[in-house]
Amino acid sequence: MNGVHDLGGMQGLGGVDVEGNEPVFHNPWEKAIFGTMLATMGQGMYNLDEFRHGIEVMSPAHYLTSSYYEHWLETIEKNLIEKGIIDRDELDARTQEFLKDPAAPVPQREDPELAESLSRLVRSGASTRREVSAKPQFEVGDRVRTRNVHPRGHTRLPQYVRDKQGVVERVYDAFVLPDANAHGEGENPQYVYSVRFEAEEVWGDSAEPREVVYVDLWESYLEPL
């Protein structure tokens, strides 16, 4: 999806705003949203690609005017509602209650089993690497061209490196394909490659000297040159 989230090379956004001594969470709701993501995605209510795509489909104006954890809240809500786990009206009604009484506590519930499994998730992760029987189509050093595609759904092929020539720098294992997995089309694992692009190829005369960009791309994003 050619969305505003696909930011590589956009100009006019201004300076980088570095916050000194930045806390991990700036307030209680950032931590609550982060934890809610862990507990819901961690229990398989939606997958990481669905999570990311839920942010991408926010309206561009909304995306650019909202905070990072608001993006997360948007996509968690959207995914849980789509899966039928949460009801939109129920959520809105409860939100109104908390708006009227901001000090009202969240009901507490202990779940030692979930605590244990989330702790394991944090420590061990949830790899999307998959075994495939096929051999990788490309080898280190192969010249490739990225495809000129503009899918309406989720993809991890950034616009700034579409229809560009590069060289395979590293061959990784096969991983779940986000383009399929974000839309309930299965995992469709494919090999991933680190592809090296010369800045001149990507940015033309506007390139900085002595710069290369490496982008990690799934096999179907690439064509042999």
Partner 1 sequence: MSDSYPASEAEISARAKALESLLVEKGLIGTDAIDKAAGAYESDIGPMVGAKVVARAWSDPGFKEQLLEDASAACARLDVGGMQGEHMVAVENSEQVHNVVVCTLCSCYPWPVLGLPPNWYKYPQYRSRTVMEPRKVLKEEFGLDVDESVDIRVWDSSAEIRYLVLPERPEGTEGMSEEELASLVTRDSMIGVGKPRTPEG
C-beta separation of 89 from 135 below 8 A: no
Of residues 34-63, those binding its own copies (CB under 8 A) = 56-57, 59-61
**Residue 51 tokens, joined:** 């999570």
Between 127 and 133, name the residue whose CB sits nearer to partner 1.
127
222 class by beta-carbon count within 10 Å (0-12 exposed, 13-18 middle, 19+ buried): buried
Rounded least distance, CB 186 to partner 1, Å: 17
Q: Which residues pair with 167 in a beta bridge?
A: 143, 196
1 contacts its own copies (rule: CB under 8 A): yes
Instruction: Select from partner 1, its own copies, none the partner in contact with residue 84, using the beta carbon and a kind-dependent cut-off of 5 to 8 Å.
Output: none
Q: Give, as ranges, the residues between 152 and 211 that touch its own copies (CB under 8 A).
A: 152, 163, 203-206
Cα separation, 7 vs 11, in Å, equals 9
Nearer to partner 1, 156 or 167 (CB): 156
Cβ atoms of 191 and 221 within 8 Å: the answer is no
Between CA 113 and CA 122 the distance in angstroms is 14
Candidates 116, 120, 148, 186; binder of its own copies (CB under 8 A) is 148
Position 119 contacts its own copies (CB under 8 A): no
CB of 177 vs its own copies, minimal distance in Å? 16
Cβ–Cβ < 8 Å for 118, 39: yes
For the CB of residue 78, give the shortest distance to partner 1 in the complex, in Å.
9
Closest among 118, 115, 108 to 41, alpha carbons compared: 118
Q: Is 16 in the site for its own copies (CB under 8 A)?
A: no
Which residues of this protein are in contact with its own copies, per CB under 8 A?
1-4, 9-14, 56-57, 59-61, 64-65, 147-152, 163, 203-206
